[in-house]
Amino acid sequence: MRRPVQKLANMMLKPIGLKTVRRAHATRGERDPAWGRLMAALKAYEGLFRQEVAPDLPPNERRFELLERTIGTPIEEVYYLLKSLHEALAVEGDLCEFGVAQGTNSAILANEVLDTERALWLFDSFEGLPKPTDEDELIDDIFELGQMEKYEGRMAHGAERVQGRLAEVDFPETRTHIVKGFIEETSQGDALPERVCFAYLDFDFYQGTKIALDLVHARMPAGGRMVVDDYGFFSSGVETAVAEFLEREGDAYELEPSPDFASAKFATLRKHA
């Protein structure tokens, strides 16, 4: 409020014992009504999700701003990720993401465990997708490249971007492990978590998914959760890797495909308690 207007308002308010106060900053919602409406819609969506699907999902004010930035992951998938993550926090272990790209979802996951001691393990070549194998049949040509072979090297982003995203949510560097390289090699190294309570598998192809499933299985206590993205979408290889894994380890897991209303295809693997 400008000074003369404020003065006049104060003169009028004085007889009834009131006066104006200056506010240093308007909230972003007040400055940008579209942003305010989006935040309100996200809060309403979360309310419904909590009521219908995940009554124990804890509140988190910062979540909404981070959700506004998600790129390739629809909101319903993010909420199912959060549901699984919070269920998994009942057991011991760190969090893993296999296939990180720009770190958009890494920041969302990190923000949920800020107040814990859990570490975040982020695996990516940072050189994009590897060469597909015979199991990777193209079922959805997402970039309209015509053949699967042309996807090699696509989705390459720098690791600095991921570090930037984590810094924005104040996630401590001491609890961040960015494991750079193709999982075919890094899974043979020493930079691996001891225990994993939650893993988000988003490598898109058969071979990487197969390796990640085995790596997590060996480190996951009963009660842990894995969410596998692109299950029956883009490359057939992800669903094949999960089917082969469950043929061997199926007794230990319950598989839940994404709900019909979801625009993304993903599967949740719950390790029996």
Ligand X SMILES: C[S@@+](CC[C@H](N)C(=O)[O-])C[C@H]1O[C@@H](n2cnc3c(N)ncnc32)[C@H](O)[C@@H]1O
Which residue ranges make up the site for ligand X (CB under 6 A)? 73, 97, 99-101, 104-105, 123-125, 128-130, 155, 182-184, 202-205, 208
Between CA 258 and CA 154 the distance in angstroms is 25
Q: How far is the CB of 45 from ligand X (least distance, A)?
A: 19
Q: How far is the CB of 151 from ligand X (least distance, A)?
A: 10
| Rounded least distance, CB 11 to ligand X, Å | 56
Minimum CB distance to ligand X smaller for 101 or for 199: 101
- Bridge-based pairing state of the strands 266-271 and 253-257: antiparallel
Q: Which is nearer to ligand X, 87 or 124 (CB)?
A: 124
Residue 136 C-beta: closest distance to ligand X, Å: 10
Minimum CB distance to ligand X smaller for 117 or for 190: 190
* Closer Cβ to ligand X, 73 or 84, answer by number: 73
Q: Any residues with CB less than 8 A from the CB of 167 and at least 6 apart, and which?
A: none
Q: How far is the CB of 16 from ligand X (least distance, A)?
A: 55
Dist. CA 161–CA 76, nearest whole Å? 25
CA distance 49 to 207: 34
Whole-angstrom Cα distance, residue 235 to residue 132? 9
For ligand X, the closer CB: 6 or 133? 133
Lay out the sheet containing 253-257: strands in order across: 176-180, 120-124, 94-98, 196-201, 225-229, 266-271, 253-257
